[in-house]
Amino acid sequence: MNPLLVALAPQIVLVLTALAVLGLGVSIPRARNAITSAALLGPILSVVALHLFPVHGLFLGGMISLTPLAGIFQLVILGLAVVAMVFAADSFPKTHFAESLALVLFATVGMLLLCATDNLLMIFLALELTSIPLYVLAAFDKASRASAEAGLKYFLVGSVAAAFLLYGISLIFGVTGSTNLHAIASFAGPSDPLLLVGIVLAFGGFAFKVAAVPFHLWAPDVYEGAPTAAAAFIASGSKVAAVFILAKFLFGALGPWAGSMTAAGWAPVLALAAAASMLLGNITALVQSNVKRLLAYSAIAHGGYLLLGLASGEPASLPAVLFYVIIYAITTAGAFGVVLVVEHERGGSRLEDFDGLAKSSPGLALCLLVFLISLAGIPPLAGFFGKFYLFATALENPHLLWLVALAIVLNAISLYYYLIVLKHALVLPSHEDRKAGLHGTRALVAALALLVLALGLFPNFFLTPLTQSFHPAVADEAPVPNQTHP
Amino acid sequence: MTILTLIPFVGALVAALAPGPRAARTVGTGFLLAALGFAVFLALGYDRAAGGIQFTEHHEWIPALGVEYFVGADGLSLMLLLLTTLITPFALLAAGPSISRLSVVLILLLETTLIGTFTALNFIHWFVFYELSLVPAFLLIRSSGTKASTVAALRFFIYTLLGGLTMLVGFLAIQLATGTFDLVQLASMGPSLDGILATHFHWPFAGMLVFAGVFFGLAVKVPVVPFHTWLPDAYAEAPSPVTMLLTGLMSKMGLYGFLRLLLPLFPQRMQELATPLLWLALATILFSAFTALAQTDLKRMLAYSSVNHLGYCLLGLFAVAAVPLGAPTARAAAMNGVLLQIFNHGLTASALFCFAGFLENRSGGLRGLRDFGGLRTAAPVFAGLMGIALFSSLGLPGLNGFVGEFLIFSGTFHLVPWAAALAAIGLFVTAVFLLDAIQSLFTGPLPPQWEKFPDLTRGEVALVTPAVLLMFVLGIYPQVLIALFNKP
Amino acid sequence: MRNAERKEDLAGREGRIFPVSGLRLPVFPSNFSMILNATFLSAFAGALLVLVLPERWTRWIALAATLAGLGFAASAFPAFDNSPSAPHFQFVTELPWIPTLGISFHTGADGISLVLLLLTGLIAVTGVLFSWNVVLRPRAFFAFYLVIIGGVYGVFQSFDLFLLFVFYEIVIIPKYFLIAAWGSTNREYGAMKLTMYSAAGSALVLLVLLATYAASGAHSFDLFTLADPSKAAFAPGFQAWAFPVMFVGFAVLAGLWPLHTWAPTGHVAAPTAVSMLLAGVVMKLGSYGALRVAMTLFPLGLAQWRIPIAVLATAGIVLGALVALAQKDLKFTVGYSSIAHMGFVLLGLMTLNLSGLGGAVLQMFSHGIIGGLLFAVVGRMIYDRTHTRDITELGRLSLAKTLPFAAVTFTIASVASMGLPGFSGFIAEFTILKGAWTAFPSLLIPAGLGVVVTVAFTLIALQRTFYPAGEVPASPPPQPPITLPEKLGALLLMASTLVIGVFPSVLLDPILRSFESPLMHGLIQGGPR
């Protein structure tokens, strides 16, 4: 078999499933269960394909680059896609149901590709492939003005960011003469300020995806306005892919231009962006009255923590950042799951809509507790270890003490707004009745909560494969030549 | 010794579990009498020829702090144990059958702590009981529940505790310097203690400060004027049986402290400061005597009279301290006087407060001296017996009060003549106010509202008679006691 | 030389299995000892069972879980070898956990840990007994409650700092919910204030913990490694900022003045069992962490900062007592008294001599018991019946007549709280004052003043509440009788303070020996006295 075909098997499976789902949507539009099952088959088969053909190496001159680490991330993204589709299946409107699932699948293809490339052009393409279905998904609730606004805003800001990225890429190419990350890394020319401008512009493109200040403006409106299932995927899958590629971009290609607190480079830029994101996210979240909006500001803050890890420029930080983004994605997806159920029961996601959750659905309330406390970084949940690991490694760069101190203090403050949500859910009473239903989402949320707890108690189960996969990792500049395929 | 401490304690537990106040009172009396019997047994078993501290028990307690369970008794301790075990049942019975169960328990606990105090030979051990006695005393004082008694109890507690604290700090310093809390050991290094303290703290006044701390603690307890302000209120507002315990026994804790802690540990300091100390004793005597003169409330008058009598004890004590060498007869006389006076005052003062209690019961709470008159005719037995007690307090020869005061004065006159001379004024004033009391209570015309004043019941007579008899016995044959602390 | 001693100590740190008579326990590896871990495991298991099993069993499960914990903690005492040749740390379990960061599951106990574990057990059991009347969502209540207990147990036996911090943080969140959902006066505010103070404190701790990890270069969070200068040396400049930050982070929880304001508000807002936990053990987490981590790791920083901290501690003693004097709400009085008593703990820690340090640990125990008892009386016995805590109003209810048991219990607790001899508080405060005498003679006067004021406000509160002066209403409103669980709980605590008051050596000997361990070498000034 053509090795390239084998290497791209997961993506191909997904595309085929998406097409099949679209077909089913036309032929049997009312059979939601059948369509959902078919759609879920896509990621599952894709996982199987990943396992059956564990191909590692470079294809098409680095356009496609498969490493064990990329494999792990593809796995995670497929898992998050499943989560998003279960959410979507439980909540999306009857009309155009199949299309919504197909869009999730298409976006997933983009994310998988994003994880599996060493080339800036391919990165751009994959990023667009991810973004466009997500724009549509954000605007998918046609009955809601907020959703339309969310879609438009996401699209507009996304386009600007894409322009930034493309301009940055072109500048980098202009200075270094290549779009291949490895080639850029081995560029030995004089330090050109133009290169730095390019890096910063490209960073802006990624920062949009990470929802870091100053490219965060879309996040609150999109998280609030988009259908919750879509928001969950935007907040989880898209973020994982974006952070992975940003890390690869910075550490794999631009290591020599990291700079420091005293020397120009991308590290101080990241540090500033991290500080701004953490400050803005955490402080603004304090006054939110809508949980989805609050999660958006929390996402901005978490984007800041992730950038902090990257800004340290320490190789040890890299697994910590990647570990943390995965934990964050799982946790935030679970939180959106709870929001989804509450919206279904109460028709809204304001704080008051959470009142009395502990009485009507104690299990769900417990899950919400797990997710939010994990986001707040309280042990024994995964979020705690993630942050601990992130901060511990970031401090190997002694100049970053101030930023870590800021992060830890702001993290303590963040507990306040999470507790406000939990107060409504667990403490305050409510007299309204609640609707049952959404069993798939409920079950999945419980599973995610257990996962968050398990990863907190025994992070090593996941940490060991992650760190081991680093041996031929993104941080490793030299690819093994004889594994290169034409 | 441990058994003696435990008797009232077990009694308290049993009484707490007793079905009602009556049963509790019976049980309590039983245990108190048992303790009395045991104390007498111990006193008889004391080997006078050997002298010193006997019946010792020595166990590790908190080795980390140098705290030991160390008890024992010499003549002084034994005398106070006798007094304690004697006065406590007296007070319990004087309270009459209406006493509450809680009060019985508290009285038993108080006796436990008193016995503990009088037998302990390790400072912390001693201090534990010394301070613990405050709790039952506090609750007993305020057991009548009136506003005034509550305030008085609070004041009593805070004052005494503050004193306790300074004493504790003082001993802390001693322990830091010497490494021990053992009173016997400390007494053996007595003369050099001052120097040890000064060297350890690199400060010549360290010893002085420690002395001041301990002195203050004890002075509050006795009390010495001007640290006496808590006393009149507490004595007057507490129920009379409780005042009996306060004056009869708790004030003796302070005196015992002077004899057991201050005198052996700081002989030099006491000598140096003898003059000011004597002035303090004189102030106590004179001030209280004159204040007593001005009182119209019987209990307040008796309270100041009590302070006055304790002042004589201090006078003798400081006089002995002032002249550490020479004049052995005078010193022995003064010392014996002090010890006798401790016992006699305990007996007499509690008897007087007992009578005051009887009076209060009959008059419905009235106790002003001017409220009565001519009781001699209405209640001859009462008047007679109380008269004897008052005369004993006054120091009439043939009664117990006389012997102690006489010995103190004769001793002091040799040692420090000027102080004895000044104190004699106090003696005179005492006589005046006591006679005044006798006169206004018992003589004169009988006011119409007291024409039906009931005399003592048979039970009350039975209660008081032994005490009055003892006054005569000790007045005539004081050797019974003196033998305890003098080698034959 | 120090290294050799350390080696010996490490070699001796083999697990000792608690000898169950006649029963041969399965042989664990020598570095694995269940008896301590069983304390928090039983608490967590209890939390889980409470959630899973039917609601009518909830209280009994909670009681069983806490009793089991107390049983394990108490049985560690006889099993602990206190002979001079025995290792300082016993019942050690050491299992790899997250090797990537040099984190291991490392638990064990010295005398200090043992004493505090015992305290936790006692308070946990009595807390359940005093919560017997919880009817609002009892499963959630006891689940949160048991999680706190488990966390506290964990902190007191952890020797890996990551593990310790995990347990330390576990305690924070359940506190919030217990207060916010089951509390009384101003509960949501009190809960949030308390939680945010705790979170801020742990943020400081976390920051220094991470910085320490980075600065040590030892790639380990193990306390024994980090405290060993041959493996991890911290520059004086580092210690100069790391120590105060971390110490303050811990001491926030211990009620260090002026960061103590969460305590009275939180205590007052909390339901009885939680006030007991807060005063009884959670405040001890702070002082324990300060001693075990901050002071052990940074002796040089400690030397620089001990005088300012001692002054703050003394300020806490005096001001806590003075403020308590002015309170009208009985629970506030007790709450501020906690500040004063914890001030003694901190003062004792700063003396850096055996007497002060040992006294501080003993005071942690003593105040835990006494504070717990006071809150139990105020919250459960009185407030749940009268629905008021205003001292004047309570005085009108003739509680001494209608609730004699409560009156006697509160009297005993007050007397113990005043530091009267015969109760545990006396020996503890006395030992601390003794230590303070050598270390800070000038602070002795304010501290002594604090003692006097403490006596005054305790006595006044006692008097006004239970034995008010003046007119007593002829027929006071009857109160529901004190229930059996309340009596049992109160008796347990009263017995504890009395037994320790009379036989303090039971605790003091193992505590004092703990300070001779090589871990504490940097701590004691001038060697043991």
Most confident of B39-43, B286-290, C70-74, C154-158: C154-158
Lowest mean pLDDT among A66-80, B158-172, C367-381: B158-172
How confident is the model at residue C27, as a pLDDT?
41
Interface contact C203-A392, CB threshold 8 A: no
Q: What is the mean pLDDT of chain C?
A: 83
Q: Distance, in angstroms, between C176 CA and closest chain A CA?
A: 8
Most confident of B15-24, B142-151, C111-120: C111-120
Q: Distance, in angstroms, between B448 CA and closest chain C CA?
A: 31
Interface contact C469-B147, CB threshold 8 A: yes
For residue A387, pLDDT over 60 is answered with yes
| Cross-strand partners of C109 | C90
pLDDT digits (tens, 9 = 90+) for B318-338: 888 877 776 777 778 888 888
pLDDT digits (tens, 9 = 90+) for C326-356: 888 888 888 888 899 999 999 999 988 888 8
Lowest mean pLDDT among A378-392, A436-450, B119-133, C167-181: B119-133
Q: What is the mean pLDDT of chain A?
A: 86
- Considering only the beta carbons, identify the residue of C140, C169, C213 that sits closest to A379: C169
How confident is the model at residue A184, as a pLDDT?
84
Amino acid identity for residue C195 in this structure: T
Q: Which residues of C touch B169 (CB under 8 A)?
A: 433, 437, 444, 448
Give per-residue burial for C287-318: e unless 16+ CB within 10 Å, then b: bbbbbbbbbbbbbbbbbebbeebbbbbbbbbb
pLDDT band at A300 (very low <50, low <70, confident <90, very high): very high
Which residue did the predictor score with more confidence, A284 or C388? A284
Chains B and A are in contact, defined as 3 or more C-beta pairs closer than 8 angstroms:
no
B59 touches chain C (CB under 8 A): no
B196 touches chain C (CB under 8 A): no
| Cross-strand partners of C406 | none
How confident is the model at residue A107, as a pLDDT?
93
How confident is the model at residue C118, as a pLDDT?
92
pLDDT digits (tens, 9 = 90+) for A54-111: 778 888 877 888 888 888 899 999 999 999 999 988 888 777 888 889 999 999 999 9
Give the list of residues 6+ apart from residue C482 with CB closer than 8 angstroms, or none. C381, C403, C405, C406
Give Dmax over CA atoms of chain A in angstroms: 69
Q: Distance, in angstroms, between B132 CA and closest chain C CA?
A: 6
For residue C22, pLDDT over 50 is answered with no
How confident is the model at residue A175, as a pLDDT?
87
Taking the mean position of all CA atoms in its chain, how far away is CA C76? Answer: 18
B5 touches chain C (CB under 8 A): no
Q: Distance, in angstroms, between C515 CA and closest chain A CA?
A: 30
pLDDT band at B16 (very low <50, low <70, confident <90, very high): confident
Interface contact C452-B173, CB threshold 8 A: no
| Cross-strand partners of B368 | B297
Rounded Cα distance, A277 and A267, in Å: 15
Residues B25-43, mean pLDDT to the nearest whole number: 82
How confident is the model at residue B137, as a pLDDT?
84
Rounded Cα distance, B189 and B393, in Å: 38
CB atoms < 10 A from the CB of C479, how many? 18
How confident is the model at residue A477, as a pLDDT?
42
Find, in chain B, the residue whose alpha carbon is nearest to that of C467.
Answer: B145
Q: What is the mean pLDDT of chain B?
A: 80
Rounded Cα distance, A6 and C442, in Å: 81
Interface contact C421-B61, CB threshold 8 A: no
Query: Could you tell me what percent of chain C has a pLDDT over 70?
Result: 91
With contact defined as 3+ CB pairs under 8 Å, the chains touching A are C
Q: Which residues of C touch B125 (CB under 8 A)?
A: none
Residues 139-158 in B contacting C (C-alpha not used; CB under 8 Å): 139, 142, 145-151, 153-154, 157-158
Lowest mean pLDDT among A20-29, A351-360, B97-106: B97-106
DSSP C97: E
pLDDT digits (tens, 9 = 90+) for B45-68: 877 777 777 787 787 777 777 777
DSSP C378: I
Rounded Cα distance, B373 and B361, in Å: 16
- Considering only the beta carbons, identify the residue of C427, C456, C509 that sits closest to B158: C456
Find, in chain C, the residue whose alpha carbon is nearest to that of B171.
Answer: C434
C357 touches chain A (CB under 8 A): no
pLDDT digits (tens, 9 = 90+) for A413-458: 999 999 989 888 888 887 666 677 788 888 999 999 999 999 888 8
Contact C413, C367 (CB under 8 A): no
B131 touches chain C (CB under 8 A): yes
How confident is the model at residue A278, as a pLDDT?
92
Interface contact C431-B65, CB threshold 8 A: yes
Chains A and C are in contact, defined as 3 or more C-beta pairs closer than 8 angstroms:
yes
- Considering only the beta carbons, identify the residue of C455, C472, C503 that sits closest to B161: C455
Q: What is the pTM of this model?
A: 0.84
pLDDT digits (tens, 9 = 90+) for B110-149: 888 888 888 888 888 888 888 888 888 888 887 776 777 7
Q: Secondary structure of chain A in the HEC alphabet? A: CCHHHHHCHHHHHHHHHHHHHHHHHHHCCCCHHHHHHHHHHHHHHHHHHHHHCCCCEEEHHHCEEECHHHHHHHHHHHHHHHHHHHHHHHHCCCCCHHHHHHHHHHHHHHHHHHHCCCEHHHHHHHHHHHHHHHHHHHCCCCCCHHHHHHHHHHHHHHHHHHHHHHHHHHHHHHHHCCCEHHHHHCCCCCCCHHHHHHHHHHHHHHHHHHCCCCCCCHHHHHHHHCCHHHHHHHHCHHHHHHHHHHHHHHHHHCHHHCCCCCCCCHHHHHHHHHHHHHHHHHHHHCCCCEHHHHHHHHHHHHHHHHHHHHHCCCCCHHHHHHHHHHHHHHHHHHHHHHHHHHHHHHCCCEHHHHCCHHHHCHHHHHHHHHHHHHHCCCCCCHHHHHHHHHHHHHCCCHHHHHHHHHHHHHHHHHHHHHHHHHHHHHHCCCCCCCCCCCHHHHHHHHHHHHHHHHHHHCCHHHHHHHHHCCCCCCCCCCCCHHHCCC
- Considering only the beta carbons, identify the residue of C433, C451, C469 that sits closest to B150: C469
Interface contact C181-A415, CB threshold 8 A: no
Q: Which residues of C touch B145 (CB under 8 A)?
A: 467, 469, 472
Cα dist from C8 to A99, B439, C14, C29, whole Å: 70, 86, 11, 19
For residue B163, pLDDT over 90 is answered with no
For residue C4, pLDDT over 50 is answered with no
How confident is the model at residue A336, as a pLDDT?
92
Amino acid identity for residue C33 in this structure: S
For residue B249, pLDDT over 60 is answered with yes
Nearest to B94 by CA among B210, B225, B202, B244: B244
Most confident of B102-106, B440-444, C234-238, C240-244: C240-244
For residue C476, pLDDT over 90 is answered with no
In this prediction the ipTM stands at 0.87
Residues A222-241, mean pLDDT to the nearest whole number: 90
Interface contact B161-C418, CB threshold 8 A: yes
Query: Could you tell me what percent of chain B has a pLDDT over 70?
Result: 98
Interface contact C470-B146, CB threshold 8 A: yes
For residue A195, pLDDT over 60 is answered with yes
